[in-house]
């Protein structure tokens, strides 16, 4: 079964803690993305990576960090510097940017709540 | 100015109605347009993808791009209660995807 998995589905964090959200894909896609979705708002890009060991900041990268040590994995760390981290986090992947016939696939999401 | 704007709705229609969902975009150079459907508490799933202008049909769904007015539309014919979801338009440009805020659709039985 090909696809994108995210874990955990629900995550609770205390103030001041760092937490890491997992994203794995077995689609052999080159590019991976992290988005944040808040109620009534669209998807906002946090970070994206086009190849292993390389990633770029999106529109709201402050308070977040990522790594891309393997093609299939793109974990997101929400640090204590992120002032309002409660949101729905979505990971996505897409094939080489020159081929958009498959475009972008999304994982099921992780809902993070700060207590 | 945001790259893509979308009316958030919500939109409520009776079963069997024709639904029209719309977005406007800012840059006439954009060429790749997508529509996603997102059920509550789930990740978005790709519905339709179009390149440049024109129409694309898939079953009850038709995606339309009007480049002269920078307007993209998704039409749903014979809408069903199972179509109740949030619909997101998206544009791809130079390694990044830009999303509308989503329109929440409710199809009443």
pLDDT of residue B109: 95
**Backbone dihedral region of A103: left (phi > 0), alpha (psi from -120 to 50 degrees) or beta?**
left
The closest CB to that of B99, out of A6, A42, A50, belongs to A42
Residues of chain A with pLDDT under 70: 1-2, 96-102
B81-107 pLDDT per residue, tens: 999 999 999 998 877 888 999 999 999
Chain B: closest CA distance from residue A81 (Å): 25
pLDDT of residue B53: 78
Quick check: A45 contacting B, CB < 8 Å? yes
pLDDT of residue B18: 97
Cβ B97–A104 below 8 Å, yes or no? Answer: yes
What residue ranges in A38-86 does DSSP mark as E strands? 43-51, 54-57, 64-66, 76-78
Cis peptide before B10 (omega within 30 of 0): yes
Cβ B43–A103 below 8 Å, yes or no? Answer: no
Closest CA to B4 of B93, B96, B98: B98
Q: Are A68 and A56 in contact (CB under 8 A)?
A: no
Q: Which residues of A touch B6 (CB under 8 A)?
A: 42
pLDDT of residue A97: 61
Cβ B49–A106 below 8 Å, yes or no? Answer: no
Question: Which residue numbers of B have CB closer than 8 Å to A's CBs?
Answer: 6, 8, 32, 34, 36, 41-46, 49, 51, 88, 90, 92, 95-97, 99-102
pLDDT of residue B75: 97
Q: Other CB atoms closer than 10 Å to residue B58's CB: what's the count?
A: 10
- Nearest-CA residue of chain B relative to A46? B96
What is the rounded CA–CA span in Å between residue B35 and residue B25?
A: 14
Number of H helices, E strands in chain B: 0, 11
pLDDT of residue B51: 84
Cβ B42–A111 below 8 Å, yes or no? Answer: no
B88-102 burial: b if 16+ Cβ within 10 Å, else e: bbbbbeeebbbbbbb
B44-81 pLDDT per residue, tens: 999 988 888 788 999 999 999 998 999 999 999 999 99
The pLDDT of B20-34, averaged and rounded, is: 91
pLDDT of residue A1: 56
Number of H helices, E strands in chain A: 0, 11
Q: How confident is the model at residue B2 (pLDDT cuts 50, 70, 90)?
A: confident
């Amino acid at each position: 079964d090909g696809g994108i998995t995210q874990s955990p589905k629900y995550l609770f964090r205390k103030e001041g803690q760092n937490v890491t959200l997992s994203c794995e894909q077995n689609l052999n896609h080159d590019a991976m993305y992290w988005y944040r979705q808040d109620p009534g708002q669209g998807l906002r890009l946090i970070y994206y990576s086009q190849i292993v060991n390389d990633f770029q900041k999106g529109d709201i990268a402050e308070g977040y960090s990522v790594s891309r040590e393997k093609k299939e994995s793109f974990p997101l760390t929400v640090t204590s510097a992120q002032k309002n981290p409660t949101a729905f986090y979505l990971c996505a992947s897409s094939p080489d940017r020159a081929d958009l016939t498959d475009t972008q696939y999304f994982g099921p999401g992780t809902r993070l709540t700060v207590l | 100015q945001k790259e893509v704007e979308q009316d958030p709705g919500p939109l409520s229609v009776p079963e069997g109605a024709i639904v029209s969902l719309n977005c406007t975009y800012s840059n006439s150079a954009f060429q790749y347009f997508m529509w996603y459907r997102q059920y509550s508490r789930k990740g978005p799933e790709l519905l339709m993808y179009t390149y440049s202008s024109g129409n694309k049909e898939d079953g009850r769904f038709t995606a339309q791009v009007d480049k002269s007015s920078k307007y993209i539309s998704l039409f749903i014919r014979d809408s069903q209660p199972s179509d109740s979801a949030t619909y997101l338009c998206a544009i791809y440009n130079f390694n990044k995807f830009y999303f509308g805020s989503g329109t929440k659709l409710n199809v009443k039985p």
